[in-house]
């Protein structure tokens, strides 16, 4: 946590976000109604109008990522000129207002697909509700004003749209939870849980990023390890510290805690030694029948769940616990359904082992923060969660190597946001650097 405005990885993250925004803007620019009527038949134009709503959704999500990670920055839409142009500076609150408006309009747009009616891998109104639920859960961080009532409403809309937790394990290959993250999660009961999958396929949608990075990057040189994840390679890069492992007091019971420990140490004393730290076995490029799916080039076929119903259940529970106007019993029921599934039990059957009490919904409880880590680890939520719970920069919660020291330490408050890259500041005088950088 010692990055600055010249950090190349932060510049890459920033550039990817605004590159996607640029692509979406160009699609929207070229698919305006006047251009459609001049270029396409009425039927084709109607199809493209549906694509337009999906492009607007993707752009809203990109701006939401910019707001979450960088706070403030440039703002461009399809109505701005192409070429030499210095975009205006938007504050975090302005980003929030734009994202909320776009997602709310899409949720009411007849051209945006109803839940579970679109082609697999494409977004629909449930995805818009899901992103709104996330937006409102974090509204106090983004704008200073809590929106927990709205988070409850939007999360419930997704849950009631027909999505449900995957409950059938894949034989001896994976638990019901683990099945959601296998290479054939697009073709099994796992589809009932995922609202928005980012599709990867070893033959047709290949990338060294995405789930290929999550699978290969977290695998070592041992042949048994590689077989476990369905590949014949391991990049020996990604590991987890003891902080995640220690959230699972009993990995024999909680099927979500799956780590490669053979030849690995729990503690990391030297960051450059791959044998220090545990491998995470969440994403595995095998089928539910145990077949390796990586092929000769070791790409991944695991579809990444950008939004799934378990997250919506946890959002509902947390928002109710923070004062949102929902049903506390229902909220607790959602948490216990998730935990029962994790323990290999029927989700509808009470369990003295898996179930928790209403105390977990107390405003001062951090149980749901820990439960989100157990359920959603490696799905891209932890930084945002820790900031919402005021634990990202303070000494209230440290993890190994936080702040660059083995024991972990508190860091400067301004690191809740990344810096706007110096490369963009130098060419756009409208921008302002984030505080502290």
pLDDT averaged per 10 residues in sequence order, the chain, 437 residues = 96 98 98 95 97 98 98 98 93 98 98 97 98 98 98 98 97 97 97 97 93 97 97 97 96 96 97 97 98 95 98 98 97 98 97 96 95 98 98 96 96 98 97 98
Flag whether 300 is in a domain: no
Tokens encoding 183:
């290479």
Flag whether 419 is in a domain: yes
Q: How many C-alpha atoms does 59 have within 13 Å on its Cβ side?
A: 23
Q: How many C-alpha atoms does 220 have within 13 Å on its Cβ side?
A: 19
Q: How far is CA 436 from the centre of its chain?
A: 27
Please report the pLDDT score of residue 314 as a whole number. Answer: 98
Flag whether 341 is in a domain: no
Q: Torsions phi, psi of 409, nearest 5? A: -155, 165
pTM: 0.97
Flag whether 387 is in a domain: no
Distances (CA, A) of 153 to 40, 56, 133, 334, 348: 39, 22, 8, 15, 23
Flag whether 226 is in a domain: no
Flag whether 134 is in a domain: no
Please report the pLDDT score of residue 356 as a whole number. Answer: 97
Domain residue limits at 44: 1-91+404-437
Tokens encoding 40:
């396409």
Total structural domains in the chain?
1
Cα–Cα dist 402/412, whole Å: 12
Please report the pLDDT score of residue 84 as a whole number. Answer: 86
Q: How far is CA 22 from the centre of its chain?
A: 22
* Beta bridge mates, 307: 196
Please report the pLDDT score of residue 402 as a whole number. Answer: 97
Domain holding 37: CATH number? 1.25.40.390
Flag whether 66 is in a domain: yes
| Contact between residue 289 and residue 272 where contact means Cβ atoms under 8 Å apart | no
Flag whether 28 is in a domain: yes
């Amino acid at each position: 946590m010692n990055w600055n405005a010249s950090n190349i990885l932060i510049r890459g993250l920033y550039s990817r976000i605004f590159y996607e925004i640029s692509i979406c803007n160009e699609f929207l620019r070229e698919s305006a109604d006047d251009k459609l009527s001049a270029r396409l038949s009425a039927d084709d134009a109607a199809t493209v109008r549906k694509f337009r709503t999906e492009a607007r959704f993707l752009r809203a999500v990109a701006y939401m990522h910019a707001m979450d990670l960088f706070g403030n920055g440039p703002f461009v839409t399809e109505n701005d000129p192409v070429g030499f142009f210095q975009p205006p500076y938007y504050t975090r609150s302005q980003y929030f207002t734009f994202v909320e408006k776009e997602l709310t309009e899409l949720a009411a747009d007849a051209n945006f697909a109803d839940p579970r009616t679109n082609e697999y891998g494409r977004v629909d109104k449930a995805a818009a509700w899901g992103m709104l639920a996330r937006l409102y859960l974090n509204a106090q961080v983004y704008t200073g004003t809590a929106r927990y009532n709205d988070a409850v409403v939007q999360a419930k809309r997704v849950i009631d749209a027909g999505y449900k937790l995957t409950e059938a394990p894949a034989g001896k290959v994976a638990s019901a939870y683990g099945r959601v993250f296998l290479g054939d999660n697009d073709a099994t009961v796992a589809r009932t849980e995922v609202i928005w999958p980012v599709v990867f396929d070893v033959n047709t949608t290949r990338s060294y990023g995405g789930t290929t990075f999550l699978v290969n990057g977290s695998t070592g040189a041992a042949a048994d390890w590689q077989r476990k994840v369905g590949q014949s390679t391991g990049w020996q890069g990604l590991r987890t510290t003891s902080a995640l492992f220690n959230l699972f007091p009993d990995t024999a019971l909680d099927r979500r805690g799956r780590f490669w420990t053979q030849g690995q140490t729990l503690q990391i004393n030297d960051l450059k030694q791959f044998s220090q730290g545990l491998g995470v076995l969440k994403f595995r490029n095998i089928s539910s029948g145990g077949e390796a799916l990586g092929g000769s080039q070791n790409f991944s076929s695991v579809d990444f769940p950008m939004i799934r119903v378990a997250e919506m259940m946890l959002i509902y529970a947390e928002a109710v616990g923070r004062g949102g106007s929902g049903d506390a019993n229902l909220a607790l029921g959602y948490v216990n359904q998730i935990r029962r599934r994790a323990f290999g039990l029927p989700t509808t059957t009470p369990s003295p082992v898996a179930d928790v009490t209403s105390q977990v919904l107390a405003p001062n409880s951090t149980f749901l923060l820990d439960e989100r880590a157990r359920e959603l680890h490696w799905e891209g939520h932890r930084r945002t969660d820790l900031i919402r719970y005021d634990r990202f920069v303070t000494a209230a919660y440290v993890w190994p190597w936080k702040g660059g020291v083995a024991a972990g330490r508190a860091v400067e408050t301004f690191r809740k946001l990344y810096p706007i890259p110096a490369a963009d500041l130098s060419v756009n005088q409208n921008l302002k650097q984030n505080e502290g950088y």
